[in-house]
Amino acid sequence: MIINLFDLEKKFSLKIPKAIDGYYSSGARDEVTLKRNREIFNNYELLPKLLRDVSNISTSTELMGIGIDSPILLAPVAMQQMAHQDGELATAKAAKNFNTIMTHSTISNYGIQDVGPVHDKLFFQLYFSKDRDFTKELILKCKKNNYKAIVFTVDAPRLGTREADERNSFKMPSSLQLGNFIGTKFENFDDIEEYEGSSMAAHSDHLFDPSLTFDVISWIKEISGLPVLVKGILRPDDAQKAISFGADGIIISNHGGRQLDTAVPTLKQIEPIRNQVGKDATLIVDGGVRRGTDVLKCIALGADVVQIGRPLLWGLNYDGQKGVELVLDLLNKELIETMILTGCKDISEISRDLVIEK
Ligand SMILES: Cc1cc2nc3c(=O)[nH]c(=O)nc-3n(C[C@H](O)[C@H](O)[C@H](O)COP(=O)(O)O)c2cc1C
C-alpha cells in the first residue's frame, strides 16, 4: 500500500540495480548533509491557528509570473532514463498535468529539443561547460524551445565524491545517451578515458568549468534574455551578490547532500537568506522535502516554493508519468491537510508565526 513518499522509496531500492540506486540515492562522503537535510525539519515545530474557516483550500501560487497549482516543483535530476525508459519526457508530462514547473537538467537523457515541446512551464538547469560556445548554444536552444528560465547551478565547480559511485564504478548504461550532447564526446560515457571509480566524476571533470565567478550570471542573462535563478546558494552574502549581478532569484540548495558534505542543511538558511535579499526576490528551496509539513515550514520561513529531487525518481521508477503524478499528488494532499490543520486557506496565509524553533 502506498500512503506516502517513503513507501515509494522502499519499492525503488528493492527494484533498481545496485550501482544505479547508489548514484540516485547516495550523498557525498559520510552523507552527513544528506541526513541533516531531513533531520532539521524536526527542529522546527508548528504552532497552528484555529477557528479560521478552512472549508476551501487553494494551493495555487505564482512564480515569476507563472501560474501553478502547487508550490511543489520538480528539481533538475540527471539521467532519468535509468529510472524509467520514458525518463524526462514522463516527468515533463507529469509536471504539465499537475500544472507545476519542471527543471530539465543539462545531463539529461532526453535533450532540449525532445522535452521542450512537451510542457510550457519548463526551466533549464545549466552546467556551465568549459567550452563557452557550447554553453551559448545550449542557452540559445532553450530560448528557441520556449523555456521560461535558466537555473544556473553553482555548487559544482567539481563533482562532490559520492563514495558509493566510486565503489560501484558507476557508469551510465551504454544503451543510453545524453540528449544535449549528441555528436560530442560527452554523448555517453564511453568516449571518456577509462576511469577506475565513478565515470560520472570523470565526465564532470572534463565538462565543468571551475574558473567561473559571479560575472558569468550577467553573461547568461544577456545571452538568454531569460530570468536566471542561481542554484546551490547557502550564504546570505552570496545570495545578495548573485542578485546584484542580475540574478532574478536564488535556489537554496546543497544539491541534496551530494556536493560538500557537512554543508549546512537548507531549511536553516531560508530565513537568513530571505532577510538578506528582501521580499521581492524569488526564493526556492530544496533538500529533503518529503512531507506536507516540510513544504509548509519552508514557505513559512520565507521560501516562495519548494522542489523535490529523489522522490520524482521513485515515482518515475514506480510507474513512469503516472508515478511522478502520484508523488506530486501525495505530497500536495499532505500540504492541504497541513494547511487545514494550521488555519491557512491559501499559500499567502502561510506565515512565519506558524513555526517555532525548538
Ligand atoms: C540523482 C540526482 C541527480 C541530480 N542531478 C542534478 C543535476 O543534473 N543538476 C542539478 O543542478 N542538480 C541535480 N541534483 C540535485 C537536485 O536538483 C536537488 O538539489 C536535490 O535532489 C534536492 O534534494 P532531494 O533529493 O532530497 O529532494 C540531482 C540530485 C539527484 C538525487
In tens digits, what is the pLDDT along the chain, a chain of 358 residues?
999 999 999 999 999 999 999 999 999 999 999 999 999 999 999 999 999 999 999 999 999 999 999 999 999 999 999 999 999 999 999 999 999 999 999 999 999 999 999 999 999 999 999 999 999 999 999 999 999 999 999 999 999 999 999 999 999 999 999 999 999 988 887 766 666 788 888 888 888 899 999 999 999 999 999 999 999 999 999 999 999 999 999 999 999 999 999 999 999 999 999 999 999 999 999 999 999 999 999 999 999 999 999 999 999 999 999 999 999 999 999 999 999 999 999 999 999 999 999 9
Residue 221, strand partner residues: none
Among 110, 154, 258, residue to substitute to test ligand 1 (most atoms within 8 Å of Cβ): 258
pLDDT of residue 195: 67
SS3 labels along the chain: CCCCHHHHHHHHHHHCCHHHHHHHHCCCCCCHHHHHHHHHHHHEEECCCCCCCCCCCCCCEEECCEEECCCEEECCCCCHHHCCCCHHHHHHHHHHHHCCCEEECCCCCCCHHHHHHHCCCEEEEECCECCHHHHHHHHHHHHHCCCCEEEEECCCCCCCCCHHHHHCCCCCCCCCCCCCCCCCCCCCCCCCCCCCCCHHHHHHHHHECCCCCCCHHHHHHHHHCCCEEEEEECCHHHHHHHHHCCCCEEEECCHHHCCCCCCCCCHHHHHHHHHHHCCCCEEEEECCCCCHHHHHHHHHCCCCEEEECHHHHHHHHHHHHHHHHHHHHHHHHHHHHHHHHHCCCCHHHCCHHHEEEC
Ligand 1 pocket check for 149: Cβ under 6 Å? no
Ligand 1: residue whose CA is nearest its atom 30: 77
pLDDT of residue 191: 67
Domains and CATH numbers, the chain: 5-357 (3.20.20.70)
Ligand 1 pocket check for 105: Cβ under 6 Å? yes
Task: List the grid coordinates of 118.
Answer: 512537451
Q: Enumerate residues 6+ apart whose C-beta is below 8 A from 357.
A: 43, 44, 45
Q: Enumerate residues 6+ apart whose C-beta is below 8 A from 287.
A: 37, 252, 253, 254, 256, 257, 265, 266, 267
Decide if 134 contacts 183 (C-beta within 8 A).
no
For residue 74, how far is its CA from the centre of ligand 1 (angstroms)?
A: 10
Ligand 1: residue whose CA is nearest its atom 13: 77
Alpha-carbon gap, residue 272 to 295, rounded angstroms: 18
Closest CA to 273 of 308, 230, 215, 310: 230
Ligand 1: residue whose CA is nearest its atom 20: 256
Ligand 1 pocket check for 12: Cβ under 6 Å? no
**pTM value surpassing 0.95:** yes
Ligand 1 pocket check for 204: Cβ under 6 Å? no
pLDDT of residue 240: 98
Active site residue 206: no
Ligand 1 pocket check for 256: Cβ under 6 Å? yes
pLDDT of residue 194: 62
